[in-house]
A and B are shown apart, each in its own frame.
Chain A
Amino acid sequence: MTAQLSSPPALGSTPRAGGGTPAAHVARRKRLFWPFLIPTLVLYGLFLIVPTIATVVLSFSDWKGAGDTPKFNGITQYTRIFADDAFQSAFVNSLIYIAVGGIGTFILAFLFTMVLRDMRGNKIIRAILFFPNIVAPVALGMFFGIVYRYQPGRQGLANFLLESVGLKAAKFLEADVVTWVVLGSIVWASSGFYITILMAAVDRIPPYLYEDASIAGASPWQKFRNITLPLTWDVVGIAGVLWTINAVKIFELVFVMAGSGTYAPPIHSWTLGIFVFDRSFGDTPAYGTACACAVVMILLVSVFVVALRRLLRREAIQF
């Protein structure tokens, strides 16, 4: 029955009530395809594909911005940005957010998943941990800016807690450590999302596998290594891709936390997103440079996505 509708029947098309043969009906249905799809394709093309191509083209030019005309100069922009201090720290920081943050989040999420699996109230805990994911990053950043405030006598919450247990207050938002503080905050805020994804995957694993392993005397680590990990591998891969996409565009949180009231944060704390923003809408616009950096962002996402796919490609295990 299904096959008749989704692919044209070869022969013996019997007339049906409502007029038209199944074949005719299939053809009429297929006629809907383009009208239904065109609005999406047009907007998608105009606002995402064409601008992306334009950015790639402009990245090979020297262009200051409005009032200037682009002069094409090959890969000069790329050699120039890779020699630029601000870009270098932005690039390294973005790599840190993607790699260190990704690994940290997954270790945390897996640990939590293993504990939450058979814990009472795990739905509520999951919901509480998930909430920071739907808070605006700007709001999170401002909030953290006050939590991590350092000013003797008027400490933010973090230093208040440190001092109340007798430890020394720390300057969390100094340019050289702020990346790690932001990283910690992001891992904290997004852990709920990845816990939910992994838990959904773990929940689908039939419990008898764990029972068999228990009877055979497996340790918790062996159960994790030989049951949980292989059976959730594909979901880990997808979650890794999502993390990479989100980590490469980190912008508001750093801008607000490291900037602390001033306009642009110090360059040690920059990410690629901030570099693009500064070079295009900052004090001295350089659109060509910004475009080159934007292309680096896309390449970074592609490289990580392809690498993750390669790394995590396994025989799909049916269970």
Chain B
Amino acid sequence: MSTDAVVTTLSTEDRPVRKAPRRPKPAPGTKRLSPLRVIGTVIVWLFTAFNIMVLYWLLGAAFKTPLEIFRDPLALPSQLFKSGRPFRNFIYAWDTADFGTAFLNTVLLVAVCSVVIVLISAPAAYALSRLGVRGSGPLTGFIAIGMGIPFQTVVIPLFIVLAKVNLTNNLFGLGLMYVALSLPFTVFLLTGFFRSLPDELEEASAIDGASPTRTFWSIMLPLARGGLITALILNAIGLWNETLLAIVFLQENANFTLSRALFTFYNAASYQSEYGGLLAGVAIIVLPMLVLYILLARRIITGLTLGAGK
């Protein structure tokens, strides 16, 4: 179609690419190794090593007996492997806390909510950043204020109202809240992405006769794909880890999300001194995030810190 042609012609067009200034090599003799710098470097490396050790300790402890966790915290796990049941802690946590149901609930809730959040936020962000309607600026600011409202301030009225319409202890009700409360951040994030897109493409598609809605769907959305995916991932991470609302709004085991189930499991497991099982539970909620992070670290880091820079 004509619109596709527009995209290809314009994106292959040569633009002067500005390179970031490369840091020149210091002249010989100017680079001194100050003691301060050496100490700083050592501290940074120690701090980093400590982070890695902590992660190793967590993953190792999930395969250990309580005695091993406390006696030889830094040794590799051995007892459970010797007895032929290396995943004993995971099985214990999975069964006792009903993590199976919780896992399914969480994956479903997080997937649906993240998609819905982006579907609602993208048009709003587009409207606020590109349509040039008067008042867009203040309106964007008004929505951004929502990022500063702590959940604790809205939780009581929401609980009362949702209890009236039977949406407490209900994953749909929780999902509704997740969507609504994630909008300010997502809209704010996406306005940044839409604002950075070039004007020429919109203009060209208008000249080619595309309707404004079509311009949005087939030109602007695909162009902002990077931003949309970032928004999707960041929301998924945030909701995966969300605990406060889940604690307040879910009471029945069958509806629990992972963080909610872990919260309940904590009391039971520490009462029974099941520290291995407890850390296996922690690992179950952390591992999917770790995998996601290893795959997408750059995108996650830039996305989360985007709003703060320029």
Residues of A within 8 A of B (CB): 1-2, 4-7, 16-19, 22, 25-26, 28-37, 39-41, 43-44, 46-52, 54-55, 58, 66, 111-112, 114-116, 118-119, 125-139, 142-143, 145-147, 149, 151, 153-157, 160, 193, 196-197, 200-201, 204, 206-207, 211, 214, 220, 235, 238-239, 241-242, 245, 248-249, 251-252, 256, 260-261, 263, 272-273, 276-277, 280-281, 287, 290-291, 294-295, 297-298, 301-302, 305
Chain A residue at smallest Cβ distance from B178: A47
For this complex, 12 residue pairs linking A to B, each with C-beta atoms less than 8 Å apart, are: A5-B202, A19-B209, A29-B215, A31-B212, A36-B124, A36-B126, A115-B37, A136-B240, A156-B73, A261-B270, A273-B150, A295-B153
Please give, as numbers and ranges, the residues of chain A lying within 8 Å of B267 by CB-CB distance: 261, 263
Contact of A48 with B146 at beta-carbon distance under 8 Å, contacts A7-B132, A280-B155 already known: yes
From the candidates B47, B156, B242, B293, name the one contacting A280 in the complex (CB within 8 A). Answer: B156
Please give, as numbers and ranges, the residues of chain B lying within 8 Å of A50 by CB-CB distance: 157
Please give, as numbers and ranges, the residues of chain B lying within 8 Å of A260 by CB-CB distance: 270
Please give, as numbers and ranges, the residues of chain B lying within 8 Å of A55 by CB-CB distance: 153-154, 156-157
Distance, CA A39 to CA B179, complexed state (A):
11
Distance, CA A175 to CA B143, complexed state (A):
39
Contact of A248 with B278 at beta-carbon distance under 8 Å, contacts A33-B127, A136-B243 already known: no
Distance, CA A124 to CA B181, complexed state (A):
33
Q: Which of B256-281 contact A (CB under 8 A)?
A: 259, 262-263, 266-267, 270-271, 275, 278-279, 281
A235 and B70 within 8 A (CB): no
Distance, CA A126 to CA B210, complexed state (A):
45
Q: In the assembled complex, how far is the CB of residue B9 from the closest CB belonging to chain A, in whole angstroms?
A: 16
A30 and B262 within 8 A (CB): no
Count A-B contacts at CB 8 Å.
295
Contact of A276 with B152 at beta-carbon distance under 8 Å, contacts A28-B212, A39-B120, A48-B146 already known: yes
Q: Which of B96-104, B107-115, B296-304 participates in binding chain A?
A: B296-304
Contact of A131 with B207 at beta-carbon distance under 8 Å, contacts A39-B124, A48-B180 already known: no
Q: In the assembled complex, how far is the CB of residue B43 from the closest CB belonging to chain A, in whole angstroms?
A: 7
Q: In the assembled complex, how far is the CB of residue A54 from the closest CB belonging to chain B, in whole angstroms?
A: 4
Chain B residue at smallest Cβ distance from A42: B180
B40 and A25 within 8 A (CB): no
B71 and A154 within 8 A (CB): yes
Number of interface residues of B (CB under 8 A): 112
Give 20 A-B pairs besides A16-B207, A36-B126, A197-B305 with Cβ atoms closer than 8 angstroms: A1-B200, A7-B132, A26-B132, A35-B123, A36-B123, A40-B143, A43-B180, A66-B160, A114-B40, A115-B40, A127-B297, A136-B242, A136-B262, A138-B241, A142-B266, A200-B309, A261-B266, A280-B156, A281-B248, A305-B148
Q: In the assembled complex, how far is the CB of residue A99 from the closest CB belonging to chain B, in whole angstroms?
A: 17
Distance, CA A241 to CA B144, complexed state (A):
13
Please give, as numbers and ranges, the residues of chain B lying within 8 Å of A193 by CB-CB distance: 304-305
Please give, as numbers and ranges, the residues of chain B lying within 8 Å of A36 by CB-CB distance: 123-124, 126-127, 131, 216
Q: Could you give, for residues 132-174 of chain B, a 1 whenever the CB lies within 8 Å of some chain A CB and a 0 otherwise?
A: 1100000100010011111111111111100100000000000
Please give, as numbers and ranges, the residues of chain A lying within 8 Å of B282 by CB-CB distance: 139, 142-143
Please give, as numbers and ranges, the residues of chain A lying within 8 Å of B155 by CB-CB distance: 276, 280
A111 and B40 within 8 A (CB): yes
Find the residue from B143, B149, B275 having the highest chain A CB count within 10 A: B149
Please give, as numbers and ranges, the residues of chain B lying within 8 Å of A30 by CB-CB distance: 131-133
A143 and B212 within 8 A (CB): no
Please give, as numbers and ranges, the residues of chain B lying within 8 Å of A18 by CB-CB distance: 206-210
Q: Which of B173-190 contact A (CB under 8 A)?
A: 176-177, 179-181, 183-184, 187
Please give, as numbers and ranges, the residues of chain B lying within 8 Å of A291 by CB-CB distance: 156
A137 and B156 within 8 A (CB): no
Q: Could you give, for residues 18-30 of chain B, a 1 whenever the CB lies within 8 Å of some chain A CB and a 0 otherwise?
A: 0001011000001
Does B228 lie at the interface of the complex (its beta carbon under 8 Å from any beta carbon of A)? no
Distance, CA A4 to CA B206, complexed state (A):
12
Q: In the assembled complex, how far is the CB of residue A297 from the closest CB belonging to chain B, in whole angstroms?
A: 5
Does B231 lie at the interface of the complex (its beta carbon under 8 Å from any beta carbon of A)? no
Distance, CA A263 to CA B47, complexed state (A):
33
Does B17 lie at the interface of the complex (its beta carbon under 8 Å from any beta carbon of A)? no
B73 and A44 within 8 A (CB): no
